[in-house]
Amino acid sequence: MRGVITAVVHSRGFAFVRGDEDHVSRFLHAKWVEPPIDFDTLFVGQPVEFKPDDNGIGGNRQRAMNVRKLA
C-alpha cells in the first residue's frame, strides 16, 4: 500500500503514516523502516510504501510495517 508520512517524532523514533487508499492513520516505529535508513531523513509529506498490519497494538493502533521511502 502507498501512503504519506503525516507526523514524525525523531527524538522518540516514531511517526504516523496515512494510507492513500483507505486514509487510515497507522503507527510507524523506526525499526520498521526498510531497508534500514537514517530515520531522521523521514519528513512530513514523504511518500512511502508499506504493509498495513491492522491487528492493532496497545490502544488498538494499527501499524505500518516494512516501510520504504518512495522517490
Q: What pLDDT, on a 0 to 100 scale, did the predictor assign at position 56?
A: 60
Which CATH number is correct for 2-69, 3.40.50.300, 2.40.50.140, 3.40.50.12160, 3.40.50.10680? 2.40.50.140
Task: Tell me whether residue 35 is exposed, middle or buried, using C-beta atoms within 10 angstroms of its C-beta: 0 to 12, 13 to 18, 19 or more.
Answer: exposed
Q: What is the pLDDT of residues 35-60, one digit of tens each?
A: 777 888 899 999 999 999 867 655 56
Q: What pLDDT, on a 0 to 100 scale, did the predictor assign at position 59?
A: 58
Q: What pLDDT, on a 0 to 100 scale, did the predictor assign at position 47?
A: 96
Q: What pLDDT, on a 0 to 100 scale, did the predictor assign at position 37?
A: 76
**Percent of residues, the chain, with pLDDT higher than 70:** 92
Task: Tell me whether residue 15 is exposed, middle or buried, using C-beta atoms within 10 angstroms of its C-beta: 0 to 12, 13 to 18, 19 or more.
Answer: buried
Q: What is the pLDDT of residues 8-35, one digit of tens each?
A: 999 999 999 999 999 999 999 998 888 7
